[in-house]
Amino acid sequence: ELGPVYGYQWRNFDGFGRHFGTDQITWLINEIRTNPDSRRLILSAWNPNQLSQMALPPCHTLAQFRVINGSLSCQLYQRSADMFLGVPFNIASYALLTCIIARICDLKVADFVWTGGDVHIYSNHMEQVKLQLERTPRSLPTLQMPNFKTLEDVLNSGVSDYVLNDYEPMDNIKAPMAV
């Protein structure tokens, strides 16, 4: 149990008990649709009012979205960045979130920008990092997903509704989790 972190903050910011907080995802989608030129399209997982209730304060803390010429971009700020295990997963997750929000808002997908604060590689991951750096990157896959119109459409979708075409994964590299 992680406590009120990440998705909880996205859907229930400052909520507790029977008091429901702000649904940032619903707000973000509405704001993109009604005020796409806004510079305030922010999704935040950092809530100082509830940090003490979290198992670990959020590492990926803030995502800013931007609509330019009918395309949606996202910049993620990550305050603490485990470059071997965490960051690749976080980049994939927020890139998918950007694709989903763009689809709901009938926009194209533009850029995903990642920014890190405390960027690190744990000492017990060095051999795995060296192995990763010896690999030759493969061609990138393309994402196929349903034509969502609402957030409810997304919530009613399943894993099998998302397909990575031309995905050629390499063997995984195992490493212990470091906290």
Catalytic residues: 59
Cα 155 from Cα 89, distance rounded (Å): 21
8 Å CB contact between 102 and 108: yes
What is the residue-wise DSSP string for 38-54? Answer: -S--EEE---TTTGGGS
Pair type for strands 142-144 and 60-68: unpaired
Provide the residue type at 19 as one letter: H
